[in-house]
Each structure stands twice: as structure tokens, then as C-alpha cells.
Structure 1
Amino acid sequence: MPITAYIRNPLTDLTGMMLTNQFMSPCSRLEEKTVNCYEAYGADKGSVNCKDLVEDLYECVTRTKERARALEMIFERERQVKNGQIQYADGPKHDAYQPPLSPL
């Protein structure tokens, strides 16, 4: 929970939104649902009843599963190349870029 839930003064009122995901974040709706769940159940019961929402919010913010999945795909691709199952395509020839012709 953010510190603004425990300490309330003008400084926390001004800077409280900087510690959330409510401004231009893809996780803003999920954070709103999590906060509403905690408001409904309180801090003690909320930690049990809102556990799924908290885990989903954590995954949305940190993207640990997404990064692990991408890393696993990279390792699999390198393993296939190492075993000779697939090959990387040859690169372009040196100085192969041809600029487009001007319409003049």
C-alpha cells in the first residue's frame, strides 16, 4: 500500500498521484479495481480476498512473465540454430542500399 494511506498531509496530497499508475498507464483500470477491492474489504481481509487482483496488478506493472516468455523464446531459437535445425538468413550485400530516384 502507498504511504499516503498511513500518513496524510498536504505534501502527500500533492505527490500522491506520482506513486500510482493512474496517469497514462495500461495498468490504471486494474489498479482501480484493486484499490476498490481493498476499500470494500479493508486491509486485513483485502490481502486475502483481493490476492488475485494484486497478483495481476504486479504482473501488469513488472511484466515478469512476459519477459521470461520472451527470453525463453530467444533461448529456444539459439538452441535450434546451434543444433542446425534452422539457419539465420544471409544479410544484405555490402552497399546494397539504393536510394529512391527523385521525381524531378
Structure 2
Amino acid sequence: MLYFLSPFFLSPFTDITGGIHSHQMLGRCAQQEMALLDCLEAYGFGRGVKKCSYLIDDFRECQTHMKQFRRFYEMRRERDRQIAAKKLCGDKMYCSPVVDSY
């Protein structure tokens, strides 16, 4: 589950190269990663996995966008189902969103 947060073998080399694959250099997930690492540092890795699970979920969503993709996929599937059931036809089939809907 959290194999990417802590290295299997700790050494001075892993301490030096630990920051290479972080999101702190202008990454979009920098704030979530920092909050997660602060929480894990406060509780320790073993206990922090349980205590900081909500931060882990937020950080993983920021990295992968899986919830956003699933939502998009389900909306597309529902639209395709309505098209197949002839509830949507003509211009309503593929309408663009309203301008301020974002």
C-alpha cells in the first residue's frame, strides 16, 4: 500500500537521494505531500499510516486523479446508456457545458 513512502533499506545514500522524486519543486501536489510528510513525521511511519490515512488518500488522488477519471467515465457511460435508450437524440446527444459550469 505505502511502499513508495519508505525505502526498504535505510542508509545515508537513501537519505541523500530521498528528495529526488518528491513533488516539492513546483509540483501540483506539493502542499498535500508536505502535509502528509509532516503528519507521518509527527506519528512515525507505522502509526502514521493509520492516523494520516485521509492525507494519504488526498495525496494519492492528487497524483493519479483516479476519482476524477472514474467520475468522468461514469458520466460518459450514463450518457451512452441514455443515447442507446433513445432518451437523448439530435442536438442533445453531445452538448457542450454551460460557460460558467467550471
Q: Same fold (TM over 0.5)?
A: yes
Give per-residue Cα distances to partners, 1:2-21, cap 9 Å, x unaligned. 43982322x862x4333112
Letter in structure 2 aligned against 1:27: C
Partner of 1:25: 27
Q: Identity across aligned pairs (percent)?
A: 29
Consecutive unaligned residues in structure 1, runs of 5 or more:
90-104
The 8 Å contact of residues 21 and 28 in structure 1, kept in 2 or not, is answered as yes
Consecutive unaligned residues in structure 2, runs of 5 or more:
92-102
Runs of 4+ in structure 1 over 6 Å off:
none
Partner of 2:70: 68
Give the Cα separation in 2 of the matches to 1:36 and 1:26: 18
Give the Cα separation in 2 of the matches to 1:40 and 1:5: 21
Partner of 1:6: 10
Give the Cα separation in 2 of the matches to 1:3 and 1:67: 29
Q: Return closer, same or farther for 1:48/1:3 CA change in 2, 3 Å cut-off.
A: same
RMSD: 2.2
Structure number with the higher helix fraction is 1
The 8 Å contact of residues 4 and 12 in structure 1, kept in 2 or not, is answered as no
The 8 Å contact of residues 38 and 46 in structure 1, kept in 2 or not, is answered as yes
Q: Return closer, same or farther for 1:72/1:58 CA change in 2, 3 Å cut-off.
A: same
Give the Cα separation in 1 of the matches to 2:70 and 2:6: 27
Paired positions, count:
87
Partner of 1:98: none
The structure with more radius of gyration: 1
